[in-house]
Amino acid sequence: LSRLDGGERLTTSNLEGKVVLLDFWATWCTPCVISMPYLEQVYQDYKDKDFLFVSVNTERTNQPAVREFLIEQELHFPVYLDSGFLQSRLRVTTYPTAILVDKKGIVRHIHIGPTSMVTLRNGIDELLKE
């Protein structure tokens, strides 16, 4: 995946040995927008652990609006752009969709639609202990 800010591309080697939270979202998705401050806190709380937050925006053709949204919402996590390939491969059809992957690269939890941050944190904590 390409980063919105032009930074380092995300490859599978970046994910090895880490618990990964993939969050698929769009700026027009109200539940996605509501969850952003909470996801920012998850990012801040876990970024120094064996954890990687992969925020996947699905609006590849709307990059200026996505950048503006991130500034307005004061979000600091890296955002990656998906042309639809990853969504198709993971069968993501609803936003938001959050996917938790363990350190071995195995999908362990899929949350479709709005999800409690307590549920996400519990899942992350459980996988970090393994």
15-40: pLDDT as tens digits = 999 999 999 999 999 999 999 999 99
pLDDT tens profile 48-81: 999 999 999 999 899 999 999 999 999 999 999 9
Calculate the alpha carbon distances from 42 to 13, 21, 77, 84, 91 in Å. Answer: 22, 10, 10, 25, 24
Residue 9 gets which letter from DSSP? Answer: P
pTM check: above 0.85: yes
- Which sequence positions are flagged as catalytic? 29, 32
